[in-house]
Chain A
Amino acid sequence: MSTPMNKLLIAVAAVAFLGVAPPAGAAEAPEVPEQDWSFSGMFGTFERGALRRGLQVYREVCASCHSLSLIAFRNLGDVGFSPDEIQAIAEEYEVEDGPDDEGEMFMRPAKASDRFVPPFANEQAARASNNGALPPDLSLMIKARKNGANYLYGLLIGYVEEAPEDVEMMEGMYYNKVFPGHQIAMAPPLFEEAVEYADGTEATLDQEAHDVVTFLAWAAQPELEERKRLGVKVLLFLIVLTAMLYAVKRKIWSDVH
């Protein structure tokens, strides 16, 4: 039988064959270790403990160089932080407000509606403090890299003390197994006991990387849980409706066939 479907399969197979034999010369991205994430899959949710620990890692480690400009403190309410906790976190930051009645700008403690305060006033200041490199904003990092969560996890645990002998390291760069080109300006940010977890979890490098990636995955797609919950309901509804439509179609066409 040569139905169009069979032909389609043949065509696709031909292309797939072509696809698996990539021509030489294309620089392949390094392998990234696949991890099991609480937020993957159809019913995935962000593990709340990991989120809290990840926030702690971000605030105590990453935040000294990386901004998180799209996240407001109030957003933490979506993942189980109480208004008092949010208030307490916000008040640890100072934001500029004003002008006041005298026309002066002034500093005040942050409110829940304020965003996380960036570590540097502007790009130039950030570069000046980081040997000319610009630490990127982390709000969308997980979506802004291919296979984002696994990539970032691999990057965080992927530092190697001694670069392979055939690699000539540039001044101020660090060797990383996962980073494209392997030379990264960021010093290894995480290590054993880099933080002391509030919930008593042992702060291994692996645990820290896992937690901060979970936190950043939430920061990049805060709608994820609502999206998946709604998606399951919508698809179930559509499958039922479509089955009914098929039955009606069969019924109506029965006098033609």
Chain B
Amino acid sequence: MEAKTWKNPVIAWIDDRLPVFSMMQAELVDYPTPKNLNYWWNFGSLAGIVLVIMIATGIMLAMQYTAHVDYAFESVERIMRDVNYGWLLRYLHTNGGSMFFIVVYIHFFRGMYYGSYRAPRELLWIIGVFILLAMMATSFMGYVLPWGQMSFWGATVITNLFSAIPLVGEAIVTWLWGGFSVDNPTLNRFFALHYLLPFIIFALVFVHLWALHVKKSNNPLGIDVKGPQDTLPFTPYYTIKDTFGLGVFMIVYLAFVFFAPDFFGEPDNYIKANPMQTPPHIVPEWYFLPYYAILRAITFDIWFVSAKLIGVILMFASILILLFLPWLDRSPVRSAKFRPIYKQLFWVFFADCIILGVVGGNAPEGAWVPIGQAATFYYFAHFLIIIPLLGKFEKTRTPPTSISAAVTHGGIGTKVKEAAE
């Protein structure tokens, strides 16, 4: 790429010494983007914006919050009642957490549908999985901060997962707590880490974008960009499309904030934490429900390994397995558009995830136990059996030779257009 000359002498002077403006021009304006991206491609930039909203509201809340077991609950209520617009900042933050997961989960499913994890974007995908893991840790610790009943018992249950580790489990849990139960030291360190982790996520997002801009975006056809006729400059085409998507997103997000702010929350978290009394039905936040179902699915020991340990292992494995997805899938094409069977099974897998979520939200009794076990089995089967077999035996259709050919010759191109409008 030839160096651009800047008219403004100040900008030219800075750019000569630190080429930030050239970089912005190259990555945010000229960046060649496939011309056929549909609206499912909006969710990456949306996630980035939600992260910024979360950090901004979070910093303002941290200025008012008191991380002490005697004051945390009251300080949150003070934010809700006395701090100017405190209720708005807090509701933006709590609902923003849910929105963040909705957006990121859609982003993940989009990647799975269109094969965005496939070579040469494996590392991009892997960084994404690490972002998800960091988000989960952040949101879990953030949920503890208001020090309600769900905060306290959620923290107790999740930290106790580590006690399943043989030999050192108990020691690790004590270390996590900084005591012999979830208490003030735990709350303090969770607050410190809840403040730290978003900046780590921010750094990971930067690396994620860097990796994206090296290998460039995938597209609904899953075929490589052949030349400039296949792409559009990011600005103005995708900046305006992303901004429009942001507008739609904000309407949904703020409708919850203003009119149903406790929709995603649990009533029990408006009761102050009581270490002497567990609520009758503990559930994690909705975005953890599928993993929670997997955790509880194993009700039997296997050989000498306890059910508890297997549950914990499977729960972590359910996310870590995503790291191997780029190598489990050997299909000759990337996009589900040209994979008639995978296309169906993708939606079965999606439904399976939702079923796991429903199971996770219900008490582990009656029919929910076998449903949860079957759904857990299917979850892993999807990655370990179905995807490798499909790669071998599925009869795929032949993708068009180039993006511009597909767009010009109608057919798939019109379909893409329809989906986009």
Contact = CB atoms under 8 A, between A and B. Distances in A.
Q: Do chains A and B touch in the complex (CB under 8 A)?
A: yes
A249 B241 contact: yes
B237 A18 contact: no
B267 A26 contact: no
A140 B271 contact: yes
B251 A239 contact: yes
Contacts of B105: none
Nearest to A239: B251
B247 A242 contact: yes
A102 B271 CA distance: 39
A106 interface: no
Contacts of B254: 231, 234-235, 238
Contact of A3 (B35, B77, B419): B419
Given A10-B347, A234-B254, A245-B244, 8 more contacts: A4-B40, A24-B367, A140-B270, A180-B280, A223-B80, A230-B88, A249-B243, A256-B237
Interface stretch (B293-301, B355-363, B389-397): B355-363
B241 to A, nearest CB: 6
A242 B113 CA distance: 28
A155 B362 CA distance: 25
B240 A26 contact: no
9 contacts: A15-B351, A15-B358, A75-B81, A146-B267, A180-B280, A226-B87, A242-B248, A252-B237, A257-B417
Interface in B334-357: 343, 347, 350-351, 354-355
A23 interface: yes
A251 to B, nearest CB: 9
Interface residues of A, number: 52
Max chain B Cβ within 10 angstroms of own Cβ: one of A22, A144, A220, A246:
A144
| Size category, B interface | 35 or more
A18 B358 contact: yes
Interface string A215-251: 0000010110011101110110011011001101100
A67 to B, nearest CB: 12
Contacts of B261: 227
Interface in A121-156: 136, 139-140, 143-146, 148
B62 interface: no
Leading 3 A-B pairs by shortest Cβ distance: A231-B258, A23-B367, A242-B247
A228 B260 CA distance: 10
Max chain B Cβ within 10 angstroms of own Cβ: one of A19, A146, A245, A248:
A245
Interface string B232-255: 100011001101100110110011
Interface in A54-71: 70
Interface of B: 35, 40, 74, 77, 80-81, 87-88, 91, 113, 232, 236-237, 240-241, 243-244, 247-248, 250-251, 254-255, 257-259, 261-262, 267-268, 270-271, 280, 343, 347, 350-351, 354-355, 358, 362-363, 365-368, 371, 417-419
Given A11-B351, A223-B87, A249 B244 contact: yes
Given A15-B351, A25-B366, A143 B258 contact: no
A70 B74 CA distance: 8
Given A12-B354, A42-B259, A26 B362 contact: yes
Contacts of B366: 23-26
Contact of B267 (A70, A145, A234): A145
A68 B366 CA distance: 40
B259 A143 contact: no
Contacts of B363: 26
A18 B362 CA distance: 12
A71 B370 CA distance: 48
A232 B1 CA distance: 49
A70 B81 contact: yes
B409 to A, nearest CB: 15
B65 to A, nearest CB: 16
A143 B240 contact: no
B365 A26 contact: yes
A144 B270 contact: yes
A234 B80 contact: no
A108 interface: no
B259 A228 contact: yes
Nearest to A136: B271
A143 B91 CA distance: 14
Contacts of B258: 227-228, 230-232, 234-235
A245 B243 contact: yes
B138 to A, nearest CB: 25
Interface in A37-82: 42, 70, 75
Given A23-B368, A256-B35, A11 B350 contact: yes
Nearest to A227: B258
Contacts of B417: 257
A245 B270 contact: no
A238 to B, nearest CB: 5
Nearest to A139: B77
A238 B368 contact: no
A242 B244 contact: yes
B232 A18 contact: no
A10 B270 CA distance: 36
A6 B84 CA distance: 44
B251 A238 contact: yes
B340 to A, nearest CB: 10
B240 A249 contact: yes
A92 B351 CA distance: 60
B247 to A, nearest CB: 3
B82 to A, nearest CB: 9
Contacts of B350: 7-8, 11
